[in-house]
C-alpha cells in the first residue's frame, strides 16, 4: 500500500458523484477553509478553489466518474491524487456517514499522510483500455448465448452437438433435431446474435491491435513472445499494466495481479489470508489463461506442472505456474527481453 505523504499549503478532499461533488479544503493546520456541495462540473470547481490554487492538491476516491476530474487537474496544472477505494476504510468507519463527512475525511487523509494511492491511468490510453474491457463483456454475452443452445439440447433430452459450436462452421443444422417451431425460432435467434457478436468482436480486435502497435508496439511484441499468449492476452497485459516501472518490485507486481495470497498474522501466529479482491481482476484472468496455454505449447511446462500436481494438487499447481509466469513477464518488460523457455524452467 502506498500513501500520499507530501506537504502542501492546502488539501482538497472531494466526495465525487456523477452529478454533484462535495468539496472540503483544509490548510496545513487542519482548519476547514471551504466546505461546500457543488455541481460536478469544471466551472464550479475552479471557481471555488481559486483562492487556494497555489500549492493545492486534490484527492478523490476511485469511482467510475473520476476521468474528467483527473483530466481537468492535468490541464490546469493542479496536483491530483486518486484514492484506492478498498483501502479507504477510514471513510466508512464513523458512526454517521454522508457526503459532507466523507469529503472532510478525504481531506484529512491527504493532510495526515494516510491517503492510499491508486494509479491514475494516462488519458491517451485510458479509452482504449476501456474498449478492451468492453470486449470482455461482449465475449461473456456471446458465451451465454452459446451456453443457452447447449442447455436447450439438455432440456429436451437430446445429445449435445458433436462439434464445438463456438466455431461458425459447426453451427449448421442446429435447429433440425427440434420439431416445435418456437424452439427452432429461439435457437435461430441465438445463432443470429452469436453471428453478430462474432463480426463485432472481430472488428474490435483489429482496431485494438492497430492501436496497441501505435501506443507501445515493442511491449506488445515482447508479450507475444511468450508461448500461448496471443493477441488478446497480450493486449490485456499491455493495457492493464501500462508502465511496468510503476511497480517498485516484482513482489508488488504479482500482488497487484492477484497471483499471491496475503498472509494475516498477529503475535507471530498466522491468522489466515485476505485481500483477494484487492488488485487487478483482468490481469489475474490473463495470467491464469496464459498458464494453461503455456502447458499446451511447451513440453517443459507439462512436466513442471505434473511435478507440482503430485505435491500440491492441480489447482495450486496452476496458481504457482501463473505466479511464476507473472514474475517472468515483470522482468521481461523491465529488461526489454523476449521470453526464454530454457531460462524460465531452469529452476
Q: What is the pLDDT of residue 270?
A: 83
What residue ranges in the chain does DSSP mark as E strands? Answer: 3-4, 10-16, 20-27, 32-39, 56-61, 79-83, 115-118, 262-266, 269-274
Residue 295: give the domain boundaries.
Answer: 241-264+275-344
- Residue 42 in any domain: the answer is yes
Question: Is residue 224 over pLDDT 70?
Answer: yes
Residues 89 and 25 both lie in one domain: yes
Q: Does 290 share its domain with 193? A: no
Based on the fold, state whether residues 13 and 105 are members of the same structural domain: yes
Domain assignment present for 269: no
Same structural domain, 129 and 111 = no
- Position 3 pLDDT exceeds 80: yes
The size of the chain, in residues, is 347
Distance CA 173, CA 224 (A): 37
Chain-centroid distance, C-alpha 54: 34
Q: Are both 98 and 139 inside the same structural domain?
A: no
Same structural domain, 163 and 198: yes
- Give residue-wise pLDDT tens across range 237-253: 999 999 999 999 999 99
**Are 208 and 158 found together in one domain?**
yes
Contact in structure between 341 and 227 (CB atoms under 8 Å): yes
Contact 274, 264 (CB under 8 A): yes
Q: Which residues contact 65 (CB under 8 A, 6 or more apart)?
A: 16, 17, 18, 40
* Same-domain status, 184 and 103: no
Query: What confidence score (pLDDT) does residue 266 get?
Result: 83
**Same domain, residue pair 196 and 258:** no
Q: In this model, does residue 86 exceed pLDDT 90?
A: no
Task: State the Cα torsion 278-213-66-85 to the nearest 10°.
Answer: 0
Within a domain: residue 64? yes
| pLDDT attached to residue 278 | 86
pLDDT tens profile 178-201: 999 999 999 999 999 999 999 999
The verdict on 33 and 79 lying in the same domain is yes
Tens of pLDDT, residues 137-183: 999 999 999 999 999 999 999 999 989 999 999 998 899 999 999 99
Residues 152 and 219 in one domain: yes
Residue 156 is assigned to a structural domain of this protein: yes
Mean pLDDT of 321-340: 96
Asked if the model's pLDDT at residue 90 lies above 70, the reply is no
- Tell me what the pLDDT averaged over the chain comes to: 93
Q: Cβ of 208: how many Cβ atoms within 10 Å?
A: 21
Is the model's pLDDT at 347 over the cut of 70? Answer: no
State the pLDDT at residue 261.
83
Residues 252 and 316 grouped into a single domain: yes
**231 in a structural domain:** no
- Number of domain units in the chain: 3
The C-alpha cell 478525504 sits at: 106
Q: What would the pLDDT profile of 266-315 be if each residue is shown by its tens digit?
A: 888 888 777 777 899 999 999 999 999 999 999 999 999 999 999 999 99
Amino acid at each position: 500500500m502506498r500513501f500520499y505523504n507530501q506537504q502542501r499549503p492546502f488539501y482538497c478532499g472531494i466526495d465525487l458523484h456523477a452529478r454533484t461533488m462535495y468539496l472540503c479544503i483544509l490548510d496545513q493546520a487542519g482548519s476547514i477553509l471551504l466546505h461546500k456541495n457543488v455541481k460536478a462540473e469544471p466551472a464550479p470547481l475552479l471557481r471555488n478553489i481559486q483562492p487556494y490554487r497555489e500549492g493545492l492538491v486534490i484527492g478523490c476516491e476511485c469511482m467510475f466518474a473520476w476521468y474528467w476530474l483527473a483530466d481537468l487537474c492535468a490541464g490546469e496544472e493542479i496536483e491530483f491524487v486518486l484514492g484506492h477505494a478498498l483501502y479507504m476504510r477510514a471513510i466508512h468507519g464513523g458512526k454517521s456517514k454522508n457526503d459532507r463527512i466523507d469529503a472532510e475525511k478525504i481531506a484529512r487523509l491527504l493532510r495526515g499522510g494516510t491517503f492510499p494511492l491508486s494509479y491514475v491511468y494516462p488519458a491517451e490510453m485510458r479509452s482504449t483500455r476501456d474498449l478492451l474491457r468492453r470486449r470482455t463483456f461482449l465475449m461473456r454475452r456471446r458465451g451465454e448465448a452459446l451456453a443457452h443452445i447447449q442447455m436447450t439440447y439438455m432440456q429436451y433430452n437430446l445429445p449435445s452437438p458433436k462439434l464445438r459450436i463456438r466455431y461458425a462452421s459447426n453451427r449448421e443444422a442446429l435447429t433440425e433435431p427440434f420439431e416445435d417451431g418456437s424452439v427452432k425460432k429461439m435457437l435461430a435467434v441465438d445463432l443470429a446474435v452469436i453471428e453478430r457478436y462474432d463480426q463485432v468482436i472481430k472488428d474490435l480486435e483489429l482496431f485494438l491491435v492497430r492501436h496497441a502497435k501505435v501506443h507501445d508496439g515493442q511491449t506488445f511484441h515482447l508479450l507475444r513472445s511468450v508461448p500461448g499468449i496471443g493477441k488478446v492476452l497480450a493486449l490485456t497485459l499491455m493495457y492493464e499494466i501500462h508502465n511496468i516501472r510503476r511497480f517498485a518490485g516484482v513482489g508488488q507486481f504479482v500482488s497487484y495481479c492477484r497471483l499471491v495470497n496475503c498472509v494475516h498474522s498477529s503475535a507471530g501466529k498466522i491468522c489466515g489470508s485476505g485481500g483477494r479482491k484487492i488488485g487487478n481482476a483482468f490481469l489475474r484472468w490473463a495470467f491464469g489463461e496464459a498458464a494453461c496455454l503455456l502447458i499446451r505449447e511447451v513440453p517443459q511446462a507439462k512436466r513442471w506442472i505434473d511435478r507440482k500436481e503430485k505435491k500440491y494438487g492441480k489447482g495450486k499447481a496452476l496458481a504457482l505456474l501463473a505466479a511464476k509466469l507473472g514474475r517472468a513477464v515483470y522482468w521481461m518488460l523491465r529488461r526489454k527481453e523476449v521470453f526464454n523457455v530454457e531460462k524460465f524452467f531452469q529452476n
